[in-house]
Amino acid sequence: MALSEQARASERDRIAQMVLDLVKERGTEITHAGAINESGLTRGRFDQIFDDYDDLFDAVAQKWLHPHLLVMEEVLATHLPPQRKMYEFFARRFAISRERFREDPEFFTILCEMGAANMERVRSFVDLADHYQCELIAEAQAEGFFAGLEIDETLSLINQMVSDYTLPDALLYLGDRLSEQKLARIVDTIFIGLSGEAGSEAAGVNSLTLAN
Amino acid sequence: MALSEQARASERDRIAQMVLDLVKERGTEITHAGAINESGLTRGRFDQIFDDYDDLFDAVAQKWLHPHLLVMEEVLATHLPPQRKMYEFFARRFAISRERFREDPEFFTILCEMGAANMERVRSFVDLADHYQCELIAEAQAEGFFAGLEIDETLSLINQMVSDYTLPDALLYLGDRLSEQKLARIVDTIFIGLSGEAGSEAAGVNSLTLAN
């Protein structure tokens, strides 16, 4: 019997949550066979819900990252000044990750490992976050920030400068050395200092061949 | 028979290099027993050279990080302007890591995993790099940069903003998205934008309780 779209979506959600609960309870990754077994479904029915393990992993990642998605959209809808908006864009996600890390460091570590081992699988999430961030950059550029830089270039530079606040693994080795206060200082530094029209002191002129 | 200090140092160096060669050749970490076995020494003699596995690991890490140490000291001895000096301090180490990564990505990945799993064991190296960087920060402050910030605060903020260029793991997932050109832009951004006397736009005043 074919599943209705609604029943399929609801089962995907239920099983994704079940996998997260099992990872937390058992302290280890859950295999495809393990998930089928625990789902209470036949193999045939399970395969109607998830094409394969990658598809199951996607659903689990989406479930886990859903709160991040909500706060990004929340920030995008505000009318804050560009610095505040950029700060909130990173700070709210960081606060979610830190809360989860503090609540259950072991569970958080395993999810980091699952994510790190499957970076390409959460690519769609990373792409969406980048897309939203480009909107913030465009708004800031309209107010004169990041002059002389392409949006993609700005995106890459900002992502590199705040990566300790977006990569969950950083919490594992930096812990309390990460703070909202420092993140705010970094965002201010970016808004004051990042442009294509000022500053080429660092690279000098003689001793470097610049890569493109 | 007791070893002379010189003979002990030379054996430490030889065995550290041997372990690196074995990791490269076999594509896997080398155990304490494996290192003893391959060293051609008796257990008793081996224990005169390395107190325990941690001590052996330290010697291997020191051997691997020695080129990094040399370029840091090289940069410290120059009389470049502070921006150039800070840039070179990070860029030369980054160039070593990238070269190693490109030459043998698998070997590099295993060494990252060994380092990541043993972060505290390379702590002495991280502390020394921080110590050198504090000298650069003090020199820059003498020329008016990073006004109103403590050295330790500045150190932590800069480390966070350039971490993609100092943590070797970043090469594994960012690859060619890391470049000297971007690093130079980041260092310029830091010198222009980072101070305690300008910019508190990001944090705002109402919606945040600042830590610390």
Classify residue B183 as exposed, middle or buried by CB count within 10 Å of its CB (0-12, 13-18, 19+).
Answer: buried
How far apart CA B84 and CA B139 sit, in angstroms, is: 12
pLDDT of residue A2: 77
Are the Cβ atoms of A119 and B186 closer than 8 angstroms? no
Give residue-wise pLDDT tens across range A164-192. Answer: 999 988 998 899 999 999 999 999 999 99
Using a CB-CB cut-off of 8 Å, the residues of chain A touching B181 are 203, 210-212
Using a CB-CB cut-off of 8 Å, the residues of chain B touching A157 are 182, 185-186, 189
How far apart CA A22 and CA A29 sit, in angstroms, is: 8
How far apart CA A186 and CA A36 sit, in angstroms, is: 45
DSSP string, B47-61: HHH-SSHHHHHHHHH
Which of B47-61, B118-132, B145-159 reaches the highest mean pLDDT?
A: B145-159
Are the Cβ atoms of B184 and A163 closer than 8 angstroms? no
Q: Which of B187, B72, B132 is nearest to A203 (CA)?
A: B187
Q: Which of B181, B152, B194, B195 is nearest to B87 (CA)?
A: B181
Structural contact between residues B199 and A188, judged by C-beta atoms closer than 8 angstroms: yes
How far apart CA A190 and CA A195 sit, in angstroms, is: 9
pLDDT of residue B179: 97
State the CB neighbour count (10 A cutoff) for residue A13: 14
Q: What is the ipTM of this complex?
A: 0.88
How far apart CA A118 and CA B166 sit, in angstroms, is: 23
Are the Cβ atoms of A177 and B156 closer than 8 angstroms? yes
pLDDT exceeds cutoff 50 at A83: yes
The token pair at A22 is 């099992």
pLDDT exceeds cutoff 70 at A135: yes
pLDDT exceeds cutoff 90 at A1: no
Using a CB-CB cut-off of 8 Å, the residues of chain B touching A188 are 193, 198-203
